[in-house]
Structure 1
Amino acid sequence: MAKRANGEGSITRRKDGTYHGRVYVTTTSGTRKRVSVYGKTREEVRAKVTELQAAEAKGVPQPDTNMTLENYLVYWLARVIKVNRRPKTYQGYESVVRVHLVPGLGKKKIRTLRAAEVRTWLAGVTAECQCCKHGWDAERATPECCAAGECCGRRLSRRMVQSIHAVLRNALQNAVREELIVRNVAQLVQVPTPAYDTGKGLSVADARLLLKEAREDRLYALYVLALAMGMRRGELLGLRWESVNLERGSLIVERSLQRVDGRLTLVRPKTRSSVRTVPLPPLVVKALEEHQERQKQERAALAEDAWTETGLVFTSRVGTALEPDNLRRSWHPLRKRLGLDDLRFHDLRHSCVTLLLDLGVPPHIVQQIAGHSDHSVTMQVYAHASLDEMRKALDKLGDRLS
C-alpha cells in the first residue's frame, strides 16, 4: 500500500468498535496540530476528516482551545460587552448568562458545541415550568400548584426565549470573529418570533380628558410632554433644564434615566436617532413654564440644605431624581379616575404617534419626533389605525367602486 502524504489523514478502528480519524490542520495560533475526530462508522469519520481538510485548503484555521462555554461567556461579558455596550445592556446580558446559559450549556466546549444541542436545550427551556424549576410554590405556606402535584405550567415567554437565543448567538458570533470557533451554531437554530403587544392609542377626546384630569397634578407637564411629544418615560425623567429652551421653544433629548446596578443613572439613549432636537408647541411651552415656577416654589419652601440640585426637570419634592415608583403613584390613580386601568404609561407615546399619523403627518417626520431608528417601526409597531379612520378609508374605496 502506498504511503499517505502529509495532511492526508488516517482512520483506524478502535477496540470498542468506533472509528478514530486524525488529520493535521493549521490552528488559530498559527501552529500545525494533529487533531482527532470520532464516529460510529468509517463513513462518518471520513466526512469529518474531509471537512477539516476542505477548511485547511481554504486557509480557514481551526480553533486552538478547549474553553468551555461558561469560561468563554465570562470572558465575553467582561472584555467585550462591559467595555463596548451600555450598562443596561450589560446588566441584561449578564442576567441571561447567569440564570440560563451557564446552568444549561456552560460545561460544553465551544469548539464542539453543535446546533442540535442548542436546539434541544432551547426546546427544554421553552417547555419547562419555571415554578417547578425554582420551587416557588414550595416556598408558600400552603402549596397551591407544582408542590401540590398540579403543575401550573408557568413558562418563559416567547420574548424571553428569543432573548436567551440572541445572547448566545451574539456571544458565539464574537467567538467566530476571534477565530475561536469556525461557525456560529446558534445561527442555525430558529426560535419562534414573539407576538408584540402594540398597546392602545388614545383618541383625541380621551387625550384631552386625560390632560384635563391631570391639570392639578404636580407632574402635569410630564403628561403633556408624553402625549404631545411622544417622549419615553426614561427620556422624560432624564430631561434636564439645560436641554430646554423655552424662549426658542425647543428641547434636546440626549439623556435617559435608568436604574443600573441598583442606582438611578443618566445614560445616553440606546440609538443615535434617539438623540434629537424637537420644537415645542405652545401647549408644551406653557406647561413647562408653569412647572418651572412650581419647582421654584417647592425649593423655596424647604430649608436651604434640604433641596438636592440635580438640574432635572421632573424631580421629587426635594429635587432628587424621580423614582419610577413615584411616577406610578401619580399615574395609577389618574388612569383609574378615567376608567382606563389597563392603560400603560408607554401608551401615551403610542397615542402621540398615532394621532400625528391620523393628522396626515408624513411618517419620516413622525419618526424624527419620536426618535425611532427607522420609519418602519413608526408604521408597524406604534401606529394603530382607529375604526373611524379605517371606516373613512374603506368608505372612500366603496364610493369609487359603486
Structure 2
Amino acid sequence: MPKKRNHGDGALYFLKSRKLWRGVANAGFDANGKRVQKYVHAKSQKEARAKLEMLIAEIEENGAPLDKSMTVEAWAKHWLDTIVPASNPKPNTIKAYRSIVNNWIIPVIGRKRVALLKPSDVRAVALGITDAGRSTGTASKAHNVLSGMLEAARLDGVAGRNVARDVIAPTVLANERGALTTDEALAVLRVAARRLDGTRWWYAILAGMRQGERLGATLDAIDFDRGEFTVKWSLTEIGFKHGCDGDCGKTRAGACPQRRYNVPPGLKHRALQGRLALVEPKSGKSRTFPLIAELAEPTRRYLEATADRPTPTVSSGGTTTGRRSPLSRTTTNGAHSCARPASSRRRRLCARRIAPQELPSPRHRTGLATPPRPC
C-alpha cells in the first residue's frame, strides 16, 4: 500500500505516459474561486520530492511560487514603465534610473533570472562601473537603483528576497565631486562679477542654489523690501508622450500634434517652450532664505540692465529675441577653469562658459513655439 502524504505536503505520483515523477502543490485560488495548482517534474522520485518541497516552501513564504522565468532585463523594463512612475518621481529621476539601468545593470546581469540572482551578481555591477573608470558615486547610485528594483520584484513575487540588501553598498570616496576651494570660489565670483549675467554664480556659491533652481527663478521669487528670496520652481527638461493614442502616425512623441509632457500624475509644473518646463524644487516644497547685500545689489543692477529683455529672470536672464536654448547648454564645466590663472584669452573663453548668453527663462512669450498641453 503506498505511503499516504500528510495534508499540505502536496501530491507525488509517477506519470507513465511521460516516464516522469510529478509533484503537485496547491497555490490558493484564482479570481473565480478555482483552485490553482503548480507542478514540478523529475526523472526520479527523490528529485521530484526535493523540488516539491522547495515549491511548497516558496508558496508558504511568498504566498505564491516565484516566477523563475523573469529576466533582469524584462523586469527592469516593467519596473521603469509601470512601478517607478506610480511613485510620482520627478522626470529627471526617471531619466536617471533609466540611464543607470540601460548603461550599467542590463549589460552586466540583464540575461540572468531575477529569482536566481546572487550577491556576487550585485557586486559585479559595481565592479563593472569602477572598471570603466566611473566614480564610486555612480556605483553607489547603481546599487541603490538595483536594490529598489529587486525590492519591487520581491513584493511582486518575482524574487524570494532582495539580494542587494545582503551586499554592502559601494563607499563614496570624499571629494570626488571636485568641490571648489575658498580661493577658487572667490576667483569664480570675481570673473562672474565682470559679466552682467554672471549673477547666477553668486546665487550658486553664496546661497547654495541648485542650477535648475537658479535658472527657474521667476521675478516673483525676490522681495527686496523684506530682504527674502523664495525658491519656488526648478527648470528642467521633460520628454513627451503621444496625446493621440498613436493615431497621428508620428514615430517620435515630440512630433505628435497633440503631444503632452510625460510627467507623473499630480506633479505640479508649468510648460515653457519645447522640452523646457518649471517643476517643483527637489524637496517638493518652496523654501525662503535671507537676501544678503552681496546678492541684493548685483541682482538690482542685473534687473535694471535687463528690464527691456522679453524674458528676464532673477539671475539668468533672457536673450534679446526671447528665444530659449536647451538646458544642456547651460553647464558648470567652466568653474574650475575660471578659478585657475590663465591667459586673458583663456579667461574670456572661461567666462563665456560660466554664463552663456542664451539662457532659458520661465516667462511665456507670444510668437514662440506652442508649448505642449499640461497633463
Please say whether Structure 1 and Structure 2 have the same fold, judged by a TM-score greater than 0.5.
yes
Matched with 1:143 is none
Matched pairs, number: 302
**TM-score, with length taken from structure 1:** 0.60
Equivalent of 1:122, from 118, 122, 125? 125
How far did 1:95 drift?
Answer: 2.0
Residue 23 of structure 2 aligns to a residue whose secondary structure is strand
Distance 1:118 1:155, change over 3 A: same
Distance 1:104 1:316, change over 3 A: same
Verify the 8 A CA contact 1:10 1:23 in the aligned structure 2: yes
Matched with 1:7 is 8
Matched with 2:319 is 317
Residue 193 of structure 2 aligns to a residue whose secondary structure is coil
Indicate the larger mover: 89-98 or 54-63: 54-63
Identity %: 24
Residue 278 of structure 2 aligns to a residue whose secondary structure is strand
**TM-score, with length taken from structure 2:** 0.64
Verify the 8 A CA contact 2:180 2:336 in the aligned structure 1: no
The one-letter code of the counterpart of 2:151 is Q
Instruction: Give me the whole-angstrom Cα distance separating, in 1, the residues matched to 2:233 and 2:99.
Output: 24
Task: State how 1:254-269 maps to structure 2 within 5 Å.
Answer: 254-261=232-239, 263-269=275-281
Residue 76 of structure 2 aligns to a residue whose secondary structure is helix
Distance 1:35 1:168, change over 3 A: farther
Instruction: Give me the whole-angstrom Cα distance separating, in 2, the residues matched to 1:9 and 1:20.
Output: 13
Distance 1:87 1:40, change over 3 A: farther
Cα RMSD after superposing both structures = 4.3
Q: Cα deviation per residue 1:56-101 (whole Å; 9 max; x = unaligned)?
A: 5567333467443333222221122234221111111122222333
Distance 1:202 1:58, change over 3 A: closer
Q: Which has the higher helix share?
A: 1
Matched with 1:287 is 298
Verify the 8 A CA contact 1:9 1:23 in the aligned structure 2: yes
Verify the 8 A CA contact 1:175 1:181 in the aligned structure 2: yes
How far did 1:175 drift?
Answer: 2.4
Matched with 1:178 is 156
The one-letter code of the counterpart of 1:293 is E
How far did 1:333 drift?
Answer: 6.5
The one-letter code of the counterpart of 1:296 is A
Distance 1:26 1:200, change over 3 A: same
Instruction: Give me the whole-angstrom Cα distance separating, in 1, the residues matched to 2:130 and 2:199.
Output: 46
Matched with 2:207 is 229
Instruction: Give me the whole-angstrom Cα distance separating, in 2, the residues matched to 1:157 and 1:12.
Output: 56
Instruction: Give me the whole-angstrom Cα distance separating, in 2, the residues matched to 1:38 and 1:312.
Output: 72
How far did 1:292 drift?
Answer: 0.2
How far did 1:271 drift?
Answer: 2.3
Distance 1:181 1:285, change over 3 A: same
The one-letter code of the counterpart of 2:319 is R
Matched with 1:33 is 37
Matched with 1:271 is 283
Instruction: Give me the whole-angstrom Cα distance separating, in 1, the residues matched to 2:67 and 2:331.
Output: 53
Instruction: Give me the whole-angstrom Cα distance separating, in 2, the residues matched to 1:290 and 1:167.
Output: 45
Instruction: Give me the whole-angstrom Cα distance separating, in 2, the residues matched to 1:117 and 1:41.
Output: 33
Distance 1:206 1:270, change over 3 A: closer
Q: Cα deviation per residue 1:167-203 (whole Å; 9 max; x = unaligned)?
A: 2221121222334433223323334323142644544
The one-letter code of the counterpart of 2:104 is H
Matched with 1:157 is 135
Q: Cα deviation per residue 1:350-373 (whole Å; 9 max; x = unaligned)?
A: xxxxxxxxxxxxxxxxxxxxxxxx
Indicate the larger mover: 51-60 or 193-202: 51-60
Unpaired runs of 5+ residues, structure 1, are 129-153, 300-306, 349-402
Distance 1:316 1:89, change over 3 A: same
Higher relative contact order (CA 8 A, sep 6+): 2
Instruction: Give me the whole-angstrom Cα distance separating, in 2, the residues matched to 1:211 and 1:100.
Output: 37
